Amino acid sequence: KHGDASLRISDVRLTDNGRYRCYVPKDQTENYVYLLVGSVSSPEIRLAGLDEGSSGVMLDCSSGTWWPEPELLWLDAEGHVLSAGPTETTRGSDGLLAVSSRVTVQKSPNNTITCRIHQKDLKQSRETHVHVPAWQGVWATVLSPQDDAGLRTELKLVIVTVYKALRTLSQQESLVMRQKHVLQLSFIWTLC
């Protein structure tokens, strides 16, 4: 009399997304269920390099695979949206989407940067944080016009060498940030 009419979908795919109808001929009643298929993953932050023009650090964030397409935001320590490069979207062979973006971060005392991925239809968000501390002494020295040009050139060479070493380290050890982990990029400079 009061049976159970269930529909079980195994190995759910994107094509299973949509409206499903349950019709009872005897009572001539029907009900609908809407299935929203989604995929989420935690973003990753990678050190992309140093921006010589602004003395900042370039960070890349990539979303992993999502469905439907998510929004990517960069946030500062206070939760304000940062100005970043354009968000790029790529579609995998499975039909899932990945988004990525790059931001250049300037030195600041509290430089905790967040990459947040949000999908409004699924009401899902994932975020990853990275801490890039203020770099002391060397940046002001490199950029100061009062310093000797030779010293500035020498310090720029040191910075380029450190940058190349960090880039190699990044490639070898994959400086990847996972959800709720903090990477601290520590730079200790001693100027004589």
| CB 44 within 8 Å of CB 116 | no
For residue 78, the SS3 value is coil
Containing domain of residue 150, as a range?
136-175
Could you read off the pLDDT of 39-93 as tens digits, one per residue? Answer: 999 999 998 988 888 778 899 999 999 999 999 999 999 999 999 999 999 999 9
φ, ψ for residue 62 (rounded to 5)? -130, 145
On whether both 60 and 105 belong to a single domain, the answer is yes
Residue 95 in domain: yes
Q: What pLDDT is attached to residue 91? A: 95
Residue 182 in domain: no
**Average pLDDT, whole number, for the chain?**
76
On whether both 54 and 120 belong to a single domain, the answer is yes
The pTM is what? 0.63
Number of domains in the chain: 2
Torsion of CA 75, 77, 83, 88, to 10 degrees: -30
On whether both 109 and 151 belong to a single domain, the answer is no
